[in-house]
Structure formats: structure tokens, C-alpha cells
Amino acid sequence: MAKDTPPRWDRRMQQRLARGEAAALGELYDRFASLVHSQAHRMLDDESAADLVTREVFAHVWENPDAYDPKQGSMRAWVARLTHRQSVRRLRDAEPSPFSRVYEDGGENDGGEGADSAARQELEERVRRATASARADYIVASMPAPLRAALELAYIQRRDYRQTAADLGVTEAEARRRLRLGLQLLSTAAARPLEGSSPPGYGQTL
């Protein structure tokens, strides 16, 4: 799991990529590939598609290092935005047109517009759910290690807050505080899109 990266590292990485250092791309891949792949897989629910998105994202980073602006956030957040954008594009491209289904079935055009609208709404709901799930993964991966450890103990290993406190070697009050903060962060997953994932041109190609 990648750790938070300092701005100095981000700027240096961008400079190395701009110089065409293949070793820099390898270092970036080692640091963020698991994040990219897990985010894409959560959204697309397809291993091959997640592999493809992972290759596309790092190819884009390699070919367009100057597209990253350190003033707009971390390199990690930029890579996550690229992954989200490309995953959404693939999710939408994979959805067949309802008009095509009508004509293929030999049906009439009557009601086609309504079917098209319903299909678009269904697709947008899938995108919304996938985005919320991907954001939750990103939040967990990005949150401070103490909060992440508390959540993993409580909700994956099914420890109560007393057991969590004992496992972490902290007071029960501190364990409750960490769980509360972690849950507050996760609660934003459904309320907001992935950080920076809806800039102008959302849904367009990388």
C-alpha cells in the first residue's frame, strides 16, 4: 500500500519523468500500481479491464508528465483522478445503446427515447456507485495509518473498541476517537466524487 508522498517527492518525480527517466516511471509504478489497479477493478469489476486501465494510466503519465500540476494536489491524487476518469470512460463505453437493442430485437422506435433515458439513468447510477466505492478505497488507502489500522481491526477483523484499543496499545477513548474520525472520512465517499474527479472535460479521454 502506497504511503502519502511529500510535495518535494512529487515535484522531483515530475522532473525526472519530464527528462524521460525510465527508472522514475518504474518507481512511480511500484508506488501506485496497486492503488490504480484496485480502484479500476472496484469500478469495472473486471480484472482484464483493470489491467488495461492500469497500463493506460501509466502510459499517460509517462507521455504527459507536464500535465501534473503540484499546486493542484499530490501526485497520488492526480494518478487517482486519471484512473477514475479512464475507468468511467470504459464503463460508459461498455454500455450498449438501448436504441441498438430495440432495432436488433426488431421492435419499433416507439418508446425508444424513454428506454434510452432509463438506460442512461441506470448507467449514471452505476457510475455513481462505482465512484463511491472507489472513493472509499482511496480514502482508506490515504488516511493516516493509525485511523486505517483502527478501522481494519474493527470492521475487517471484527474487534470491538476495547479489543481494538488493546491490539493498538492505546486507551479505549483513543480507539473510539480513531474509529470516529475514520468513519467520518468514509462517510464522505457517497457524498462527494473522488477527489478532483470531475474537472472540466469529465469523462473525456485521457
Please spell the DSSP secondary structure of the chain, one letter per residue. -PPP--HHHHHHHHHHHHTT-HHHHHHHHHHHHHHHHHHHHHHH--HHHHHHHHHHHHHHHHH-GGG--GGG--HHHHHHHHHHHHHHHHHHHTSPPHHHHHHHTT--STTHHHHHHHHHHHHHHHHHHHHHHHHHHHHHHHS-HHHHHHHIIIIIS---HHHHHHHHTS-HHHHHHHHHHHHHHHTTTTTSPSTT---TTTTS--
User: Which residue type is seen at 4?
Assistant: D
Q: Is the pLDDT of residue 159 over 60?
A: yes
Report how far residue 202's alpha carbon sits from residue 113's, in angstroms, rounded to the nearest whole number. Answer: 24
Average pLDDT over residues 178-183: 86
Q: Is the pLDDT of residue 20 over 90?
A: yes
Give the residue carrying C-alpha cell 439513468: 121
Highest-scoring range by mean pLDDT, 5-9, 171-175, 190-194, 202-206: 171-175
In contact, 40 and 89? CB cutoff 8 Å: no
pLDDT of amino acid 161: 82
Average pLDDT over residues 33-38: 89
Nearest to 192 by CA among 114, 146, 131, 101: 131
Q: Is the pLDDT of residue 49 over 50?
A: yes
Rounded percentage of the chain residues whose pLDDT exceeds 70: 70
Give the residue carrying C-alpha cell 465517499: 189
pLDDT of amino acid 181: 86
Lowest-pLDDT choice from 63-67, 110-114, 138-142, 172-176: 110-114
* pTM summary value: 0.57
pLDDT of amino acid 95: 63
pLDDT confidence of 4, banded at 50, 70, 90? Answer: very low
pLDDT confidence of 100, banded at 50, 70, 90? Answer: very low
In contact, 77 and 4? CB cutoff 8 Å: no
